[in-house]
Structure 1
Amino acid sequence: MITGYFILAQGLNRIYPKVNIELAEKLLEYSGVLLSEYSVGDNLSKNSFVQRNRIQAGLSNCIVVVETDVKRGTMHTVGFAEKNKRIVACLDHPEKYWNEPTTRGNSLLIDKNRAVPIDFGNIDELIQVINSLEVDPPITL
């Protein structure tokens, strides 16, 4: 049984950032897998991270946004999740953080009803909703 996976934004011959090498080895030790749509030796590009996010969203039942600015890569992931009819949940930070650059994306997603607001008081409720999903919706990549 697969216990987890990493989706790489480059070929399987390289883990980026290097600080994740030990984590990748641990994942493989516990029956996890490394996935990539790139050939061995393919290098990173800015677009390859966006494409990786597309796959992450497609393979997930739910995307949980902890913090993001309005124009960060996480917003690409949210868009792909919406396209694939995945649940998008967003940490609803305390009001004093609403105008911080790292939480403006969260505020936007919640204000536009594009994400289910969550906090540490209702995280169990979100987990129950995710676990109640019977079938993954079709993936559009």
Structure 2
Amino acid sequence: MSSIKKITINDESYPTLLKQIFTPPKELYVLGNLEKEEKNPLAVVGTRLPSSYGKAICYSLVKELAARGITIISGLAKGIDGIAHEAALDAHGKTIAVLGSGLNVLYPSIHKKLAEEIVGRGGALVSEYPPDTPPDHWQFPARNRIIAGLSQATLVIEAPKKSGALITAFFALNEGREVLSVPGEINKENSGGTNNLIKLGAKPVTQAQDVLEIFGLETKLDQKEIIKPDSKEEEILLKILKPDESIHVDKLTELSKLLPSAVLSTLTVMEINKKIKNLGQGFYILNL
């Protein structure tokens, strides 16, 4: 891994968008590649405990956005943050993680490998705290202003009414940045915050195009990105699987009318070939 760099607010390389917020950090510690002006920077935040719906939406949306040249900025937390970073990397895009601890005290430690991959593939880890600063609860709301400040817009995917993700959204609103929200079921706790944001004027997002048009980017999928089956079983499953809605293996078996063993073996091969994404607990989505 590269060495940690210190950037002060008076340095030429200090990020332009971050410098414009009301309380920019006086110094940043950076591991990896942080540009003064990132390409199409978008904050993606949400709950640490996403549903299968939230996981599927986050992965498919972010992967397509990153493939279209959006730089994904998030907080390396469990849940939506981690999924957003992973989806960006899977799309061979750039992603930046803003930490609520020093860069030598990675938190959460479960994402150590993910953090290494972010840096190793051209992204960056960023913190306003000196490298050996341990995590503390008050530091995370403070770091959220940096996530919003580095970004041209903030996208919230699944957040209850009391969520740190909403802090990021309100920082963005206060800075005059665009706020976007993925709507959810009205009777689900994880949808309370996101649905309220839409009531307050956030732009609802139901497809990648809703985000891409803010950045003025091309939205048409390249023909080469269409997944092609390598077997009759794959052809059947591809007609059922979707990129924005997870489906359980039992449902796949029921709808495909294939033997359970055939479904499982085919899903394994498709996952190895990165045609699908395994969300855990038997749920799958298309890997577009």
TM tier, smaller: 0.7 to 0.9
Q: Is the 8 A contact 1:62 1:130 kept in 2?
A: no
Q: Is the 8 A contact 1:10 1:43 kept in 2?
A: yes
Match of 1:100 among 188, 196, 201: 188
Q: Is the 8 A contact 1:91 1:118 kept in 2?
A: yes
Match of 2:177 among 86, 90, 96: 86
Which structure carries more strand by proportion?
2
- Aligned amino acid, residue 107 of structure 1: N
Distance 2:118 2:155 in 1: 21
TM-score by length of 2: 0.42
Percent of aligned pairs with the same amino acid: 30
Structure 1 unmatched ranges of 5 or more: 133-141
1:128 equivalent to 2:219? Answer no
Match of 2:130 among 32, 39, 51: 39
Deviation at 1:125? 3.2
Structure 2 unmatched ranges of 5 or more: 1-32, 35-93, 218-288
Indicate the SS of the match to 1:68.
coil
Partner of 2:58: none
Which one has more relative contact order, counting CA pairs under 8 Å at least 6 apart?
1
TM-score by length of 1: 0.81
Larger Rg: 2
Deviation at 1:40? 2.1
1:24 equivalent to 2:84? Answer no
Distance 1:21 1:68 in 2: 24
- Aligned amino acid, residue 211 of structure 2: L
RMSD: 1.6
Deviation at 1:21? 0.8
Partner of 1:138: none
Tell me how many residue pairs correspond in the alignment.
126
